[in-house]
Structure 1
Amino acid sequence: MTSPDPAFYHPAPRAQQFCSQCGHALSREIPPDDNRIRDLCHHCGAVHYQNPRNVVGVVPILGDRVLLCRRAIEPRYGKWTLPAGFMELGETTEQGAERENQEESGARIEIQSLLTVIDVPLVNQVHLYYLADVLGPDLAPGPETLEAAFFALDEIPWNELAFRTVSTTLEHYLQDRARGDFPTHHYAINLRFPD
């Protein structure tokens, strides 16, 4: 079996056309006692709410080096990122971050603390990154990663990073490391990462 083109994978569309309860066509309007446009089914009465998606990940540190993964999937194919991805049902944010790290880098880690919480309303997401100690140099990247590598802190490939949430999280880590204090940073990003 051949591998599909990396551009093949796309998340399910946010807007629905048909009701997942009964299969009838949906309309977009404000339901009674609500204040936002929703996908409504006039056949069975279902209201299809859309909520932000959580992206969870880690800032994996081994001594004075950070672990980054080069993406084998779109968006931002071939760019470097922190191990992260969408949280799954039935897991905590920390469990999701550990799972994403294992899937993308294969590194053994121990999570320390929550470093950043980033609201990204432009794409209806919230990103959470945990600071993590890497417990050894062995890596085993999964199929979503072209390669995983450790970078000295002064050699981070800033111009090749995939997302602003990654670059700002790394900036906070470097500033916190210089101070010797790692508080949780909560902020919003409203602009796309430049190409």
Structure 2
Amino acid sequence: MNRRPPFKFCSACGHLVEFRIPEGDTRERHICPSCGTIHYQNPRNVVGTVPIWQDRVLLCRRAIEPRLGFWTLPAGFMEIGETTGEGAARETLEEAGAEVEIGALFSMLNVPHVHQVHIFYLADMRSPEFAAGEESLEVRLFTEPEIPWDDIAFPTVAETLRFYFADRAAGRFRMHTHDITRPMLQL
């Protein structure tokens, strides 16, 4: 079993927690023996877009770790109270200064070794206007031959870009799923 990073104290009452299988469950959980609270830890959703202007895709060069200086699609953690599409549009505006029209769900990539699910939407840019946000060093539109493949930040971004260009060449777009089953920094 893939154990979650431990934490020591109950967020409800402050008592030390135990790591065991609760009654009626099949997985080990952090459980407070004092108040009975079961602390579930679930994957975090990363939401983003494949922002498109004509025949180009908008990428951001990261100003933060992890992978500082590498290129990525605009994406980030989904916030409470928003849909995946709303989060993807927000992240695109925050990181790339681009307003987009959210289109079809395009890729969903499971990244279990970091407890994440990465979700990307196709998105048409409303105009060719964009600017680097606080988390980006620069933002740029790329044609397929210009993509800096050796400098792509994450396997999920590389996979999504490969899916996009293959679908575009085939003349049809479909939803893609894939599992990234091991940590990979080299693409």
With the length of structure 1 as denominator, give the TM-score of the two structures: 0.90
Deviation digits for residues 39-58 of structure 1 (CA, Å, limit 9, x no counterpart): 11111110100111111000
Structure 1 residue 15: deviation in Å? Answer: 2.9
Q: 1:15 and 1:141 mapped to 2: Cα distance?
A: 36
1:54 to 29, 39, 45: 45
TM-score, normalised relative to structure 2: 0.94
| Pairs within 5 Å for 1:1-195 | 14-195=5-186
Tell me by how many angstroms 1:193 deviates. 2.3
What displacement does 1:135 show?
1.9
SS at match of 2:58: strand
Name the amino acid aligned to 1:101: T
Shift of 1:194: 2.6
The CA deviation at 1:172 is 0.3
Separation in 1, partners of 2:60, 2:6:
31
Cα RMSD of the aligned pairs, angstroms, is 1.2
Deviation at 1:140, TM superposition (A): 2.4
Once the two structures are aligned, what percentage of the paired residues are identical?
55
Unaligned runs of 5+ in 1: 1-12
Which residue pairs with 1:9 in the alignment?
none
**SS of corresponding position for 1:69:** strand
**Distance apart, 1:171 and its partner CA:** 0.2
- 1:95-116, CA deviations, whole angstroms, 9 ceiling, x for partnerless residues? 0000000110011211121110
Say if 1:68 and 1:83, in contact at 8 Å, map to a contact too.
yes
Structure 1 stretches of 4+ with a deviation exceeding 2 A read none
Using the alignment, how far apart are the partners of 1:22 and 1:102 within structure 2? 39
